[in-house]
Amino acid sequence: MGDVFASGPFISGLLLGLSLIVAIGAQNAYVLRQGLLRAHVFVISTICFLSDAILIAAGIAGLGTFISKNPDWLGLVSLIGGVFLLAYGALAFKRALNPGGLKPAEGGKGSLSKAVLITLALTWGNPHVYLDTVVLIGGLSARYPGTERLSFGMGAITGSALWFYALGFGARYLAPLFARPIAWRILDITIAGVMWSLAWSLLRPLV
């Protein structure tokens, strides 16, 4: 197993996984915000990481090839995901109108069940997640035979773990900046913009 983690395919998978995940998106924006509030960070980061691991494993196992040949089901997921992102963006914009209650010391951790449901929705309700993990990573893994394919997939999964835990737990070091309400207002306006732009990208082909 040590050879798997030291191999070239592992490094290739790691770099590919990081390049796909390290981007401003709905999921990352939520992890960042919860990290700033220090609210259920481990649970949220773990859900994101395990979700990626499941999808990457499915892609490595051959589901990516199947989906690339049968893409019609993505239309329904795009519709559901787009509507959800529109609604969550509206909530973020509403928070931005009253940033005084969004200081980390005052915000509270909120409900764990609510945080879990939002994380699952932002992860599994986003078609881009399937395209990145199942289709792209799964498709590229076909270049590797046997254990090298496993190594490539493990590299991508490791990249996901490194990113989400670093983002969630590293966000606290930005806490002094977000002690000011204006910083929360800017963050939530940015989150709303990201959510709405992603929603438009999902819903536009369906209109």
Q: What are the structural domain ranges in the chain?
A: 2-206
Model confidence over 18-72: pLDDT tens digits? Answer: 877 866 677 888 898 899 888 999 999 999 999 999 999 988 887 656 655 666 6
Max Cα–Cα distance, the chain, nearest Å: 56
pLDDT at 54: 94
pLDDT at 70: 62
pLDDT at 55: 93
- For residue 166, CA distances in Å to 43, 95, 103, 113, 202 come to 13, 25, 22, 23, 28
- For residue 52, CA distances in Å to 45, 61, 120, 143, 156 come to 11, 14, 11, 20, 9
Model confidence over 147-196: pLDDT tens digits? Answer: 888 898 999 999 999 999 999 999 888 777 776 778 778 878 887 887 78
CA dihedral 83, 86, 89, 94 (to 10 degrees): -110
Model confidence over 137-152: pLDDT tens digits? Answer: 887 777 777 788 889 8
Using CB atoms within 10 Å of the CB of residue 153, give its burial: 0 to 12 exposed, 13 to 18 middle, 19+ buried: buried
Q: Which of 138, 122, 136 is nearest to 51 (CA)?
A: 122
In this predicted structure, the answer to whether residue 12 has a pLDDT above a threshold of 80 is yes
- pTM, two decimal places: 0.71
